[in-house]
Chains A and B, each alone.
Chain A
Amino acid sequence: MDEIAVLIGGKAGEGINIAGSVVMRLISGCGLRTAMYYDYPSLIKGGHNFAVIRGAAVQPYCHREGIDLVLALDQETVRRHQGRIRPGGRIIYDTGRVRELDGTGLPLDEIVKEEVAPAVTRNMGLIGAFCKACAIPWETVEAVLRRTVPKAVEANLRVAGRGYEAAGTVRSLPAPTAGRRVLPALTGNEAVALGLVEAGLEGYIAYPMTPASSILHFLAAGQEEFGISVVHPENEIGVMLMALGAAYAGRRVAVGTSGGGFCLMTEGFSLAGMAELPVLVVLAQRPGPSTGVPTYSGQGDLSFTLSAGQGEFPRLVAAPATLEEAWYWAGALLDLAWRFQTPAVLLTDKNLGEGMYTFHSAPERPPLPPVRWDGDGGYRRYAPGPDGVSPLADPGTAGAVVKVNSYAHDEAGVTVEDPPTVTRMAEKRKKKEKAMAEVLRGYPSVMTAGDPAAGTVLLCWGSTAGVCTEAAGDLGLRVVRPVVLSPFPTEPFGAALAGAGRVVAVEENLDGQLARLVRGEGHWVDAMIGKYDGRPFFLEDLERRLKEVGV
């Protein structure tokens, strides 16, 4: 594939994430589809941060080892990434901080000083040089920078202009497909947030935790514009219980966290199951156990999510792979949780949530309104309704006494311990699970890619879909990926796997948690390729590993 890969690196506090997103917008602004991976350790100043931007005519959803241009704000960037430069590539660097080498050197401190610009605009010098290196016309550069630079636009433009003047052209960008519109760039977390807002979110409640925090920040900053309330309580226990209180009072709310926070929420998660209260948890995974590697990515929480909370109750779990799926399923899970009055989990990870991608629009969701009480007769919160779903009334409704309960309860919501009622109500909740599975047949709950006739299948879930899809394209394989993980989409999954000879699971965990789930469904999985260092699979990396298992 004709592509461009750019890496910008420096210390935390030097604006690497913003610089990366500006490079991304510059490449997108030329009509290409882009993906950005942002790598940063858990510290505020210093260390080594870098962003990799990959652009091509077709949307990329993963990264490669090879880089065309390295923009180095410090020596560490050169040391770490010099070996990744592909033939014909180049390093563009700050001569004040990097020892002289073969590449384009810019005296950034002097440029910034001469242009009377803030020190943080040093990265703009490199960005200007990058634009020239890729022969991006200055008018495009100026237009994009005016849209994307948050403040001191003129100073940034002057520094970028100096970089542009000083550099030479290295290579041109890949040609976009003719007539391509420039698409917006979003992070996965922003796609989740906007998907929630579009689906009628009324409140978002969260305690900060990487890599979910940027949903909280994005929604808090926009809460007036979005007409929602964004709440940051004392801890994740409070988060979950406030959400359940709000859901009881008739509001459509979501919460967001990572593994450790979800551990604290499980008490309330189980309460939601028993009290039949809807809530959506956005669970952005990072590697555990415990604090783990907090600013990196992993897929180690699938088994936990599928069994979180004591007792048995229906739950919805979906793991999107792309921005469009994240947007779609954020809304769809809200619809489904409110329709079936049960908790739901949108299972994402750091690579999806904090990665930035070009956004193509998300598909329309099928309409799925909640079941409401018609006001007739005495209200009973747990009255038998269609498919075990009891009609809803909000507290405050004339003529209704709305009682929810964490204890086993009767139809009115009053505590019971007698065997027939306990049995009947457990079966009522189970009935909802069956109905949920039925309704989910109208949703894209299993996705496939690659060659549908190929005997060798890559089995994956969530954000690893991108790298699997590209490897399948290179090697002529099939990709099968359940998006819905609970209730498991048994039939469509079986259909997608039909005719498979060899099945290889690719997961960012050690145990093969999806492989285990799929084996429990009665399918064969031949091999498992795991990655658990917190970093995403590179395409070359996965293809090597596939060769090792004989694919």
Chain B
Amino acid sequence: MKWITGAQNTWCPGCGNFAVQHALKDVFADLVAEEERRAEEFVLVAGIGCHAKIADYLAVNSFYAIHGRTLPVATGITLANPELTVVACAGDGDAYAEGLGHFVFAAKRNTDITAIIHDNRVYGLTTGQYTPTSYTGFRGRSTPSGVKERPFNPIELALASGATFVARAYTRRLDHLREVLRRAILHRGFSFVEVLQICATYNNLTAAYNDQVYELDGHDTSDLNAARERAREWDYSDGAPIALGVFYETEREREAWPPMGRLPDHQRREVVRGVLEGRR
């Protein structure tokens, strides 16, 4: 199985997206080898931005969508065919700015999709503006005197919205990233993985992240309050420790809609005739 297309890769050297692409490819390959999944079952949905080029680079089914809209597309695909394994990759501007409403509702609905947010905390492809997770004081091209707002904490946001799998990973911890992605994809319901990655050109936080991150150990992933507490340790602006790993995981009823389908032709005509009969 060939997992990478012949498309020329145009990410900057050192970009965090390489790690996500390779981790995802490895997880897909593992699922084919160990979980009897078919390569044709994977569908990758991407938004717009540097992250989204992953749709061109991975040789799987893909829907290269528009900015902010990955999650409704992914929801539509899952509703249409629950047999597919749907992974939505989005940037932080994509998921937390333009697509915030969709993010909150996807978590609320608990549709069986995996959202991977490539959070480099800066707009890369539009050349360096602040995003909803940029730290206070960040000097971007649209905020030259520094951002006054406080960043969103996406982990808290996901927990508050009802996501049933909430995790954070870091692109420089590749094995851990792989493991988290695999668990997220296998989880039934809405899985949210916040991936911290650097932007090599506009927001290189490698030194800070290397210093701050640690992997959760002995944390009870079924305890929502414990998850919230861990999520609040780092506010996306200060130098506090940054927990990596699964914050919360639970099983919950998925969205209420029946699967899409259609009656066989003759039955459909009969049903329609019955409705007309009742209107005489």
Residues of A within 8 A of B (CB): 25, 28-29, 147, 182-186, 194, 197-198, 200-203, 205, 222-231, 233-235, 237-253, 267-268, 271, 275, 359, 394-407, 409, 412-415
Contacts and interface: CB of A to CB of B under 8 A. Distances in A.
Contact of B79 (A226, A242, A403): A242
A203 B260 CA distance: 6
Interface in B204-229: none
8 contacts: A227-B263, A228-B260, A241-B102, A246-B80, A251-B260, A395-B61, A396-B61, A412-B5
Contacts of B83: 396
B277 A401 contact: no
A378 to B, nearest CB: 11
6 closest Cβ pairs, A-B complex: A245-B76, A249-B80, A184-B279, A242-B76, A241-B72, A395-B61
A415 B7 contact: yes
Contacts of B62: 402-405, 413
B66 interface: yes
A395 B280 contact: no
Interface stretch (B39-47, B135-143, B233-241): B39-47
Interface stretch (B28-36, B146-154, B170-178, B268-276): B268-276
A4 to B, nearest CB: 19
Interface residues of B, number: 55
B268 A198 contact: yes
B12 to A, nearest CB: 17
B232 to A, nearest CB: 27
B262 A227 contact: yes
Interface of B: 5, 7, 38, 40-41, 43, 45, 48, 53, 55-56, 59-66, 69, 72-81, 83-84, 101-102, 104-105, 257-263, 265, 267-269, 271-272, 275-280
A252 B105 contact: no
Contacts of A198: 268-269, 272
A245 B63 contact: yes
Contact of B80 (A225, A238, A245, A275): A245
A246 B66 contact: no
A202 B276 CA distance: 20
Contacts of B259: 229
A183 B65 contact: no
A25 to B, nearest CB: 8
Given A186-B279, A242-B79, A406-B48, A201 B258 contact: no
Contacts of A235: 101
Given A395-B40, A401-B59, A224 B258 contact: yes
A503 B55 CA distance: 53
A402 B59 CA distance: 9
Contacts of A229: 79, 257-261
Given A241-B73, A397-B40, 5 more contacts: A203-B79, A229-B257, A234-B101, A242-B72, A253-B76
B269 to A, nearest CB: 7
A234 B72 CA distance: 9
A40 to B, nearest CB: 21
A414 B56 contact: yes
B69 to A, nearest CB: 5
A200 to B, nearest CB: 5
A28 B61 CA distance: 54
Contacts of B7: 414-415
Contacts of A224: 258
A433 to B, nearest CB: 23
Contacts of A253: 76, 80, 260
